[in-house]
Structure 1
Amino acid sequence: MKEFFLSLKVDKPYVVVGDIHGCFDEFYELFNLVEEKYGKDTIIFSVGDTIDRGDYNLKTLNFCMELYNKNRFYEVKSNHLDKFYRYLKGNKVKISYGMQKTVSEFLNLPEEDREALRLKVISYYESLPLYIVINDNVVVCHAGIKDEYIGKADEKVKSFVLYGQTTGRYTEKGFPERLDWTKDRALKQDSPKIVYGHVVFDEPYINNLCYGIDTGAVLGNKLTAYNPET
């Protein structure tokens, strides 16, 4: 599978939503709020990790694919959906606690439905870009991206945008301790905004035109959407 990035010209309202992680109710509520505020043609961009850990993973994924088919939703590749994709392809993967919920939902489906969904999700994931450049001034990615990677889609870029950088240690909350790649960003006059997820913050983290919007919906906090045009 050849990796790629997507460059889009968008002339409609749009927002970027943080990691959903199977929180269907929160996502559906946010989706309706977005439509009320910006209109029913608003496009939703997702930083990925739409599944795992939550209680409605397949329902969330099916809703995302439904919106995608209506040109209302664009998602970037992310570590959790990438792992589920590899599982569906028959690759050997370690099924962690969060992924177990998604796999259990999948295995509880009737065999015919399971196979249909397997093929559907494989096709969907293979259609997703590593990151999306919107109107040349906003980049949507999962774990982040360095400026020198924008315009590239090799394995080094894939590793960074899916997993980011870590120290090898863990935080008090049990998450891998991540390096803040935004601190060393050297801004230029034409530097794009970078909107990303993956790293959980209590509130959106903003630094050097980088916007971390995973605010831990699945951990009982909240689901965040950001309008880069405001």
Structure 2
Amino acid sequence: MPSDLSPLPPDTHFDDVGPFDLIGDVHGCAGELEILLDMLGYQLEFDGPEGQRAYEVTHPEGRKPVLLGDLVDRGPRTPDVLRLAMHLVETGRGHAVVGNHDDKFRRWLVGNSVVLSHGIERTIEQFSRETRQFRDAVTDFLHTLPDHLVLDRGQLVVAHAGLHAHMHGETGKRVRSFAMFGETTGERDEHGLPIRLDWARNYSGPATVVHGHVAEPDVRERNNVLCIDTGCCFGGHLTALTWPERKLFQVPAHKEWFNSPRWPTNGPDG
């Protein structure tokens, strides 16, 4: 498999009208994800011990989870999160988009040199107990994840870090980079983390955009853009936004799984 790959065509699912349950950055917190899905009315069956579970997920009303990327790193059970996400996507019972942490782990899996920081070292350790077959399946899965989704006939756009209106349904390196990282200044703060710009301040597109990436204690909404990453891996909450109802459901983190110098009093992290 090539060490790096060009962006895939946009995976719009334009005619999929849901209803959906949009779920913020899971970051390996499989226990909280299982509880949240149960809270949302999903029938969740699994086989095997924690870390090696096989999942069967259905909803009696046909609702679909939509995972907003950053499935991996920081939390204790990244392999389980990936198994659940792969089940949802492969069965057509849910969707997922790629996050910057997911893409970094994919690059590590195919042999690229990456900086072992910000939680990827925990994912690598957890994968040391996995089979080559599963590692290869995860590599393929992460490569095929779209950078954004256009859902409900264009009324809803989902991307890990959000997306400008003129990029909806488009493809290319700029679109993929924005969808994974958002808008940054190109500089880093005293913690070595990217300095971000608030791209939603000028958003005026017709679609509602829902994203994660920027972890904050509370859901943030501006100009029909919602950020629902509420820092589960940092000891915050795992949040779901129902669509089209636009109701919030939250599960508190079982513990602080990963310490961030910017959470929560010093600003967002992603």
What TM-score comes out, normalization by structure 1 length? 0.90
The one-letter code matched in structure 1 to 2:120 is M
Structure 2 CA distance for aligned equivalents of residues 197 and 171 of structure 1: 23
Alpha-carbon distance, 1:42 to partner: 1.4
Partner of 1:223: 238
Q: Pick from 16, 22, 25 the counterpart of residue 19 of structure 1.
A: 25
Identity of aligned residues (%): 31
Structure 2 CA distance for aligned equivalents of residues 51 and 199 of structure 1: 15
Structure 2 CA distance for aligned equivalents of residues 99 and 208 of structure 1: 33
Structure 1 CA distance for aligned equivalents of residues 36 and 108 of structure 2: 30
Q: Pick from 5, 12, 16 the counterpart of residue 7 of structure 1.
A: 12
Q: Pick from 141, 151, 154 the counterpart of residue 124 of structure 1.
A: 141
Question: Residue 119 of structure 2 aligns to a residue in which SS?
Answer: helix
Mapped pair 1:33 → 2:39? yes
Write out aligned runs for 1:41-52 (5 A): 41-52=62-73
Structure 1 CA distance for aligned equivalents of residues 238 and 193 of structure 2: 18
Give the aligned CA root-mean-square deviation in angstroms.
2.0
Higher helix share: 1
* Count of equivalent residues: 222
Partner of 2:219: 204
Q: Runs of 5+ in structure 1 lacking a partner?
A: none
When structure 1 is superposed on structure 2, of 43-52 and 116-125 the one drifting more is: 116-125
CA deviation string 1:90-145 (max 9, x = no partner): 11111114000000011133xxx1x1012101221222111000021100001110
Partner of 2:50: none
Q: Pick from 184, 207, 211 the counterpart of residue 192 of structure 1.
A: 207
Partner of 1:155: 173
Runs (4+) of structure 1 exceeding 6 A deviation are none
What TM-score comes out, normalization by structure 2 length? 0.77
Alpha-carbon distance, 1:171 to partner: 7.7
Partner of 2:91: 70
More RCO (CA 8 Å, sep 6+): 1
Question: Residue 148 of structure 1 aligns to a residue in which SS?
Answer: helix
Q: Is the 8 A contact 2:184 2:196 kept in 1?
A: yes
Q: Runs of 5+ in structure 2 lacking a partner?
A: 44-58, 246-270
